[in-house]
Structure 1
Amino acid sequence: MLTGSGHCQVGYVRHLSELRIRELEKLSVRIQGSINTEKYACESYFDYVCSRNRPLFSIMGHMPQMGDLMQLLTELQNDPEPFEAKQKTLDFFISCNVHHALEDCYRETYEYFKPLFGYIVTKNMLNGESHELDDFLGILDRFVVRFQKDRESNPILSKLATYKQKFKTPRVYFHARDLSREYKDLRIYRESYEHNVRNLEQHRKLNSTYELGVQRTMLDWSMYLFQSRNKPMSYFYSTFTVHLYMMLFNSLERQRDFTRFREDVECLRLPQFVNVLDEARMLAVIYLKSFRAAWIDYSAWINSPPQNSGIYDQENGVLQKYHLDNKRIFFTLYAQNFCEFGKDLAEHVFYLGLKQNKDFYDIYSCGFQTENPMTCV
């Protein structure tokens, strides 16, 4: 079971456990704090979701919250298995705390020793059943099956199919002996923080096996899954599913016939400053297709099987108290991926799919526009 997802018995209200209800309430409070309700969503969605500068998640998750970092490091410290990499992690934390505030040291320890956090997360993940792992693998499986016929011609799909199988047992990538081997040549001294940082930077650039390839993916997915515990499916589809489609379309669109691509871009009628940059035009198509495909997948999940619509309605019943629903969560979390790109680029490129989505207009009472560039690509 995922850390924090409960080793005790929990009560159920129809489909939703008490833990999931509490997480919906916490997520609602965080979303309320991240959006600017003084702005009109239909006029500028960027101002509505980004102007407070408090985006909640990137496509594959932000750094865990401070409470989670403290919990994970405590669990690592209390883990009964002694090994060298764990001791180096704790020694670095001690050296940092001599010079910096406690919260800064939790963050730095996570950044430099993220595989050790993967170790404790995956160890706890396999101590029992986890509906988050089931949901995650279900999304991944449906994605791979949907493009089954294209797998041989597309290395991204082939890789995802392989990774899907590997992630059923992610713990094999975080064995204590392998982690100790990873940090074997790294020297960490409790009394020399600056020396430790230099050594860690050098190690990360030259020696880390967790910066690329399957190990990096297993680590990213494990930490994402930890951050996803008890989250609704609207969160999974607006973050992880969008990530999958971006990987796919980033590969496919760059292989397309340029003449057809140019026709699609002209149909979209992107603003002049976007048309100047080839990469901006490419990203516009990739993000538009990714949004549309993820939204179609989420809509399909809501409608089948019947149990899904029941869960969806139950979640909306909880969210209603906060003037939210699952579709608003989907749109908000998707849009907040692009706050860092600035208003002009976000409004005209990354939010193009939102502005042409009927559900978006209905939810925010915008009045649906009849011209629909979604048919261009």
Structure 2
Amino acid sequence: MMWSVLFAVFLCACLGSTEAQIANEEHLSELQIKELIDLAKRLETSINPEKYACDSYYDYVCSRNRPLFSVMGHNPQMQDLIELLTQLENDAEKFEAKQKLIDFFISCNTLKSLQDCYRETFEYFKPLFGYIITKDVVEDTSQELKDFRFIIERFLNRTESIRRLHPHPMWNKLKSYRQKFSTPSTYFYAGDLNREYAGLRIYRESYEHNVRNLEQHRKRNSTYELGVQQVMLDWSLYLYQSRNKPMSYYYSTFMVHLYMSMSNFTERHRDFTRFREEVECLKLPQYVNVLDEARMLAVIYLKSFRLAWRDYKDLTNLDPKKRQIDDEENTILAPYHLNNQRLFFTFYAQNFCEFGKELAEHVFYLGLKESVDFFNIYSCGYQRETDMSCI
């Protein structure tokens, strides 16, 4: 009896301690709350409430003014570009590559609008934006960087068994990149940037010559156009545009991208007979089925979506801290008729608005449309006859 009593007391103490520990965890920061509300408001102007999500998800998320939440590499918002360029100009460190950027911007402004010049300057001088981002925004000790590396770590752990069965070059590279991205600023030193643009000539008075010179610079295989430097730049830019966003954003964009990269290799190096059977399971429309690349992408994105969605559900179901944050975010989203699950589906879907309705619905949305969770979340009341369990 005494042991049972002691055990009960011990168990209650442990449970109480665990609950107290969870309760004492950090809540959403003011910046995270603001970003979540801003996202909800943007989606209010993006989602078309006159369309029924269960009939055509493309019409629901893409038929109005649509913010594209690209997985990688899309331009930051104009206000962000202005702020970044201002930060770069006011940065205390003076170096030649930065002066060339400023001179190009001045030359552009003699012929084009300010908005066009901000965009072009970003496109031609992305590594310098990587410099200011990793110096002032994505610091080596930032929570954003910790969360980002946490996602990569989870992906590596989840795919370890796949890698053992089927050696995958992308997996080993990703493991190396994860370690290198612990200090992304080391890839954007002023001296490196000066060497990157050493042979480039920029004239304040001649915009046309500057554009021609910059295009030639790109063709000479810029250091940041390939390899480790390119990955570090892409990740830094993505992390900048993702700051303060919820995990549902990271998982529906970056995690899907990681799974897509792995599936893109494995699906193109597998038994053709089995692949043909999976394509037949998809029942693609004839005009899509005749396109080799469309058939391939349909399988790749179906599997990538499934795995990313599974991982996101596991994250919120199995991690008490993440579940607490998820609940807090859902409370903030509720007045906008949103929750994190809807955010996940919307963010994923809006990556493909630019491909048009037919390709989006019949290629990229297959995983989404056959998901039981999708039908439950949007109260569709039914599910298609084929649940694609054969894939």
Interval containing the TM-score (normalised by the shorter chain):
over 0.9
Distance (Å, rounded) in 2 between the aligned partners of 1:286 and 1:104? 36
Aligned pairs, number: 366
CA distance in 2, matches of 1:271, 1:168: 45
User: What is the CA–CA distance in structure 2 between the aligned matches of 1:242 and 1:132, rounded to whole Å?
Assistant: 18
Offset at 1:125?
Answer: 4.0
Measured in 2, the distance between the counterparts of 1:96 and 1:267 equals 53
Question: CA distance change for structure 1 residues 362 and 105 in 2, over 3 Å: closer, same or farther?
Answer: same
The residue aligned with 2:288 is: 274
Alignment partner of 2:186 out of 155, 172, 175: 172
Q: 1:239 aligns with which of 253, 256, 264?
A: 253
1:80 equivalent to 2:92? Answer yes
User: Which of 219, 230, 237 is the aligned partner of 2:244?
Assistant: 230
Residue 191 of structure 1 is matched in structure 2 by: 205
- 8 Å Cα contact 2:40-2:336 kept in structure 1: yes
Counterpart of 1:253 in structure 2: which amino acid?
Answer: E
Cα deviations across residues 38-91 of structure 1 (Å, max 9, x unaligned)?
111111111111112523311125210111111111111111111100000111
C-alpha deviation, 1:266, in angstroms: 1.2
Match of 1:144 in 2: 156
Select which of 140, 144, 149 maps to 1:132: 144
Deviation at 1:198, TM superposition (A): 0.6
Aligned equivalents of 1:318, 1:165: Cα separation in 2: 35
Deviations 1:298-336 (A, max 9, x none): 001111211111100100111111111111111011111
Q: Cα 1:166–1:271, aligned 2, differ >3 Å: closer, same or farther?
A: same
Query: What aligned pairs does 1:59-138 form with structure 2 within 5 A after superposition?
Result: 59-125=71-137, 127=139, 129-138=141-150
Describe the shift of the 1:280–1:64 C-alpha distance in structure 2 as closer, same or farther (beyond 3 A).
same
Identify the residue that residue 327 of structure 2 maps to in structure 1. 313
Q: Deviations over 1:199-250 (max 9, x none)?
A: 0011011141111111111101000000111000000000000100110000
- Tell me what 1:159 maps to: 173
The AA in structure 1 aligned to 2:84 is L
Q: Secondary structure at the match of 2:314?
A: helix
Distance of 1:127 and 1:189 partners within structure 2: 33
Q: Is the 8 A contact 1:34 1:56 kept in 2?
A: no
Q: Please tell me whether residue 15 in structure 1 is matched to residue 27 in structure 2.
A: yes
Q: Which position in structure 2 is the counterpart of 1:208?
A: 222
Indicate conservation of the 8 Å contact 1:118/1:219, yes or no.
yes
Is the contact between residue 256 and residue 308 of structure 2 (CA under 8 Å) also seen in structure 1?
Answer: yes
After superposition, the C-alpha distances for 1:5-63 in whole angstroms (9 at most, x for unaligned) are xxxxxxx9961111110000111111122221111111111111111252331112521
The residue type paired with residue 176 of structure 2 is: T
The match for 1:5 is none
Contact 1:246 1:286 (C-alpha < 8 Å) held by counterparts: yes
- Cα distance in 2 for partners of 1:37, 1:248 equals 35
Change (3 A) 1:124 1:374: farther
Take 1:246 and 1:165, find their aligned partners in 2: how far apart are those partners?
21
Q: Which amino acid aligns with 1:123?
A: K
In structure 1, what is the Cα distance between the partners aligned to 2:354 and 2:110? 33
Q: Which moved more, 1:281-290 or 1:31-40?
A: 31-40
Which residue matches 2:339? 325
CA deviations 1:123-170 (Å, max 9, x no partner) are 124646322111110110111122224547110111111111111111
Q: TM-score, normalised by structure 2?
A: 0.90
Counterparts of 2:287 and 2:139 in 1: how far apart (Å)?
A: 53
- Matching residue of 1:43: 55
| CA–CA distance in structure 2, aligned partners of residues 370 and 33 of structure 1 | 29
**Distance in 1 separating the partners of 2:225 and 2:159:** 28
Q: Is the 8 A contact 2:25 2:321 kept in 1?
A: no
Between the aligned partners of 1:136 and 1:127, the Cα distance in structure 2 is 12
Could you tell me which runs of 5 or more consecutive residues in structure 2 were left unpaired when the two chains were aligned: 1-23
TM-score using structure 1 length: 0.94
1:3 maps to: none
CA RMSD of aligned residues (A): 1.6
Q: For the Cα contact (< 8 Å) 2:45–2:65, is it kept in 1? A: no
Instruction: List structure 1 segments (4+ residues) > 6 angstroms apart after TM superposition.
Output: none
Name the CA distance, whole Å, in 2 between partners of 1:344 and 1:21.
36
> Quick one: distance in 2 between partners of 1:98 and 1:302?
52
The 3 A distance-change label for structure 1 pair 34 and 61 is: farther
Distance in 2, Cα, partners of 1:61 & 1:279 = 22
Q: Using the alignment, how far apart are the partners of 1:151 and 1:190 within structure 2?
A: 52
Mark the CA change 1:342 to 1:31 in structure 2 (over 3 Å): closer, same or farther. Answer: same
